[in-house]
Amino acid sequence: MCGIVGAVSEREVQGILLEGLRRLEYRGYDSAGMAVMDGGNVVQRAREVGKVAALADAIGAKVLEGAVGIAHTRWATHGEPSRLNAHPHMSGDKLAIVHNGIIENYQDLRDELKAEGFEFTSQTDTEVVAHLIEKHYREQSNLKDAVKSAIGRLRGAYALAVIHADEPDHLVVCREGSPLVIGVGIGENFIASDQLALLPVTDRFMFLEEGDIADIRRDRVEIHDREGNIVERPVTRFEHGADSADKGEYRHFMLKEIHEQPRVIKATMEGRLTDTSVLEQALGTSAGKLLENVRHVQIIACGTSFHAGMVARYWIEDLAGVPCSVEVASEFRYRKHVIQPDTLFLCISQSGETADTLAALRQAKKAGFRAALAICNVPGSSLVRESDLVIMTQAGPEIGVASTKAFTTQLTALLIFTLALARHNGLSTEAEAEIVEAIHLLPGQVDQVLALDGEIAEMSRAFMDKHHSLFLGRGSQFPVALEGALKLKEISYIHAEAYPAGELKHGPLALVDSEMPVVTVAPNNDLLEKLKSNLEEVRARGGELFVFADKVADVKAQDGIHVMQLPSVHPITAPIVYTVPLQLLSYHVAVLKGTDVDQPRNLAKSVTVE
Ligand code: G6P
């Protein structure tokens, strides 16, 4: 995921931009660059492949002087990682631009601009935007107007920051589908892909809305909405202190991380979706080729990541019609495999350093799987380095040992991947649009679930003295039940088992009595009626039920049945929403029991040994 930083100041901005890039490193990148104007009618530029440190070394020798500049970390989507493909891109020697996102119609625009005499030096979609803005600038002689005209022709997702040496005292930014925040300083202003990049220079931020264009000057910021009206966007203070590894107002990291989910889910989808479709290129330069002719998917992971893989199996078979197997890495690595032709090997890992997952990957490569895709949260990790294609989750650092936000962002990334795969396997544009629209609703729906925190805390009292519990789900909610049970056992030390509800009468029903709370996730899907019959079976044996149900599911609270109503959600995205109340339930039970929530006994965050 590319990262953007920019500054308009009175002082030299090179140091601010470099520090901003370092702080965006967590997003993952393969090259970095910067362009600065010194008021002297030229734009100076430096670009390097590799780390921000390599860019800093390269600049070190020549020092880019100037008080207005833009910088970028690139995650290759069009064209390999190289100095020529790194941002900023320029049109002539006066206009420079950085871009995070994907321009879908770049090829048509490139042909058109080439025919008009513009020369291209890179394979990127971004260079097209640079020339398109320059073309309009020649007609309009006003950078903001030129940007507005140019973006009217773009299809896709973008956050852009543009400078022009003929207008040396400002920069112009805009966003559509990719994040962009303005940092408000005193006598200077900044822009970046996220707040973390700018914390050394300010703690006051304005968030641009979709379609906004902003003119950023040293002493003022002017924002225009899509219709061209001048609009005010509220200035907010950064909430959780300057350090993301800080608990802020929360009692535990786990609670903080649960509450971060609406934001990080949004960050994981940003730049990868339009309103109605998946931007396949945003998954990487080789995504299209790699997803073609995939006949089978083999998912490997451990712990919570394994549960994400189990949910993904339902999606992959349902939406893409591609057979999918899921296995824990520690089992996979020690057995013989029958490899089906054209199998995509997919590893899921928060840390990217889990020993069993890495061993399975290395073994799969030797065994001749077609290609390896990783879903991972830590850029630069071993898994990321050793995979052919990587989809980074944007959960940010996860400190609590019990994984929460990493799981829901893994699911978000897996659903986006599934849609890209499904498109190669006949999913209609209407069906894709329906699910993409449902994905866009997720941050708001998770927020609604978080608002139930108080009620869930109340509910958790019933678990405090219990020694055993049972979690039930059907279909893609079965892995959600597994994850709910894992959370409860990890942090409260209560024995928790999960079953597909239909298996109840094949064993676990024998355990059900008033001392065994039974937790059930019941979204409104085509298995709801069957699930309700399973609940009757529990109730008839005196079991106490705790049901998280869609408000239209018509599960009535009564003696022995506690019902928590959740927002109505699309059946495909329901596993993401229904995970959240189970996280909160476990958290509150653990707090009541007084366990070490963030560092439960005997467990480690990253299991780097076998
Ligand atoms: C440990 C952690 C879990 C995590 C699992 C897999 O057990 O405590 O939270 O799910 O490892 O880790 P990974 O980093 O590969 O997702």
**Nearest atom (ligand 1) to Cα of 304:** 10
Q: Quick one: tokens of 281?
A: 């290129």
Q: Is the pLDDT of residue 500 over 50?
A: yes
Q: Do domains 247-427 and 444-600 have the same CATH topology?
A: yes
Question: For the segment 112-122, what is each residue's pLDDT rounded down to a tens digit?
Answer: 999 999 999 99
Topology given in CATH for the domain delimited by 444-600: Rossmann fold (3.40.50)
Ligand 1 centroid, distance to 352 Cα (angstroms): 9
Percent of the chain beyond pLDDT 90? 69
Instruction: Find the angle CA(87)-CA(134)-CA(86) to the nearest 5 degrees.
Output: 10
Are the C-beta atoms of 547 and 522 separated by less than 8 Å? Answer: yes
pLDDT interval class at 609 (50, 70, 90):
low
376 C-alpha to ligand 1 centroid (Å):
11
Closest ligand 1 atom to 401 CA = 8
Q: Is 256 exposed, middle or buried (0-12, 13-18, 19+ CB in 10 A)?
A: buried
Atom 8 of ligand 1, residue of closest alpha carbon: 605
| Nearest residue by C-alpha to atom 3 in ligand 1 | 303
> What is the Å distance from ligand 1's center to 349 Cα?
7
Residue with tokens 């935007």: 129
Q: What is the pLDDT of residue 381?
A: 81
524 versus 410: the higher-pLDDT residue is 410
486: CB partners within 8 A, 6+ apart: 303, 304, 307, 496, 498
Question: Cα(405) to centroid of ligand 1, in Å?
Answer: 12
- 242 pLDDT exceeds 50? no
Nearest residue to 56 (alpha-carbon basis) of 9, 16, 8: 16
Q: Which neighbouring-strand residues pair with 519?
A: 471, 546
Q: Which of 307, 349, 315 is nearest to 418 (CA)?
A: 315
Domain 3-237 bears CATH identifier 3.60.20.10: yes
Give the per-residue pLDDT at 608.
62
Question: 108 versus 27: which is more confidently predicted?
Answer: 108
- Residue 185 half-sphere exposure, CB side, CA atoms within 13 Å? 21
Share of the chain above pLDDT 70, in %: 97
Ligand 1 pocket: which residues have CB below 6 Å? 302-305, 349-351, 354, 357, 401, 403, 603, 605-607
By three-state DSSP, how is residue 318 classified? helix
Distance CA 400, CA 392 (A): 19
Express each pLDDT in 419-441 by its tens digit.
999 999 999 999 999 999 999 99
Going by pLDDT thresholds of 50, 70 and 90, the confidence category of residue 446 is very high
pLDDT single digits (tens) 303-317: 999 999 999 999 999
Q: Which atom of ligand 1 is nearest to the CA of 402?
A: 9
Dist. CA 308 → ligand 1 center (Å): 11
The gap from C-alpha 358 to its chain's centroid, in whole angstroms, comes to: 22
Specify the pLDDT at position 243: 47
Q: Quote the mean pLDDT of the chain.
A: 91
Ligand 1 atom 2 nearest Cα: 605
Please write down the HEC assignment for all residues of 127-164: HHHHHHHHHHHHHHCCHHHHHHHHHCCCCEEEEEEEEE
Report the alpha-carbon distance of residue 406 to residue 552 in Å, rounded.
29
- Residues belonging to the active site: 2, 605
User: Which CATH fold would you assign to the domain 247-427?
Assistant: Rossmann fold (3.40.50)
pLDDT single digits (tens) 539-574: 888 888 999 998 877 777 887 889 999 999 999 999
pLDDT of 8 > 70? The answer is yes
Q: Supply the pLDDT for residue 397.
A: 87
**Half-sphere exposure of residue 579, counting CA atoms within 13 Å on the CB side?**
30
Residue 539 pLDDT: 83
For the chain, domain boundaries? 3-237, 247-427, 444-600
Instruction: Give the residue, by CA position, lying nearest to ligand 1 atom 4.
Output: 303
pLDDT at 77 over 90: no
Query: pLDDT at position 241, please?
Result: 44
| Residue matched to tokens 């544009």 | 429
Q: What is the pLDDT of residue 76?
A: 85
